[in-house]
Amino acid sequence: MNKLLKSSIAAGIIVFMGFSGMAQEVAGSSKLVSDDVLLWVLVGTIMLLGVVNVVLSGTIKGLSSDNEIWKVAKDRIKSKGAGVLIFLLMINGFTAQAQGGAAGSSFVMGDDLFYALITMIVLMLLLIYYQINVLRGLLKTIRGEEVVEANAIESWAAALTDVVPIEQEESIMFEHEHDGIRELDNNLPPWWLWGFYITIAFVPIYIAYYHFGSGPSSLDEYNMEMAEAAEAKAAYMAGLSNLIDETNVELDLSEAGLASGKKIFIDNCAACHGQSGEGGVGPNVTDEYWIHGGGVKEVFSTIKYGVPTKGMIPWEAQLSPSQMKDVTNYILSLKGSNPPGAKEPQGEIWNDESVDGTEAAPSVESPVETAPSEPIDKPKEATENQTAG
């Protein structure tokens, strides 16, 4: 037993040292309870439970001074204690890896480490419960009471449900009756009680982590989920490129889109509009004059439906909506490039806020009304009145 206790204490010290190496101060943190403080709280709880386990083991040893009783107690604890020792060493290895990965930066409590510590606390509580049962069995042995050894399934079933054997149900039966029916005063199942106790013990940890520590608030989780939804929507819409038309096309001057549009322009449009958009048979597309509108929607519509009366074919049968969008954006990016040999302006000046940041203005100035060169004849009645006066 001494050897087992010393091994458990040594393992606990090793684990504590491993965790303490990870508790680095978070500089300038505005949190009331930072991750390193939460880590110390969890590790402190584990160490406290470890002390309770050691005290229980010492109590069992003190009561079992008889060699035969001690042998029974040792056999019942040995396997459980060895399992806990192995678990402690595994947790220590995990924390050593986490410490190496977090070196040189502020400590942040990861989900894996947090749940590992919670799991360890639960296992320590289970070990305490197990040792209490061993202690109760020893007390019965010392008092001379018969201890019936049940098989593993029956033992765990009894421990989890606390069911009273049928032969002893009379001892827990209520005296009052209801229509000839009498009820049993069964205890609440231990598994339910321990679950309730664990939730109570978890409350301060939860409050410290989520309300005062670095745990995300409901608003933070909402914002993160909205950001994820926006990314998912963008990815989904990117796959729906065939839904682009002249009503929803938008200006996109990304490098990938312009590169694709340039290739399409050279392959299909340069024969009429020139290699650099300077114009040829077709108009110059690098100046601010447009015949059919120079906005992104207008240019897209012109490409899609063509201008058959001027010899420009509709391209919707040969180019996909995504390709027409790319070539539209490429054409608009040529504005002001002034290539050599540019064709004379055709059409009207087009100002579009989506391209140059200014609001759309009328393309043709309104004529200014001027005074007539000849005097306007006065009405006959007015002249007669003036003569009469």
How do residues 46-72 score in pLDDT, each as one tens digit?
A: 899 888 888 888 887 777 665 555 565
| 145-199 pLDDT, tens digit each | 555 555 656 667 777 777 777 777 778 788 777 888 888 888 888 889 989 999 9
Residue 213 contacts residue 31 (beta carbons within 8 Å): yes
Say how far apart CA 290 and CA 348 lie, in whole Å.
5
Residue type, 121: I
pLDDT confidence bin for 306, thresholds 50/70/90: very high
What is the 8-class DSSP label of residue 348?
E
Q: Which long-range contacts (CB under 8 A, 24 or more apart) does 102-107 make?
A: 102/22, 102/24, 105/24, 106/24, 106/25, 106/26, 106/27, 106/29, 107/22, 107/23, 107/24, 107/26, 107/35, 107/36, 107/39
Residue 215 contacts residue 40 (beta carbons within 8 Å): no
Residue 268 contacts residue 320 (beta carbons within 8 Å): no
Per domain, the residue ranges of the chain are 2-147+188-218, 255-356
Tell which CATH classification among 1.10.760.10, 3.30.2350.10, 3.30.450.40, 3.30.1490.100 matches the domain 255-356.
Answer: 1.10.760.10
Say how far apart CA 7 and CA 57 lie, in whole Å.
13
Say how far apart CA 193 and CA 147 lie, in whole Å.
25
Q: What percent of the chain has pLDDT over 70?
A: 67
pTM of the full predicted structure? 0.36
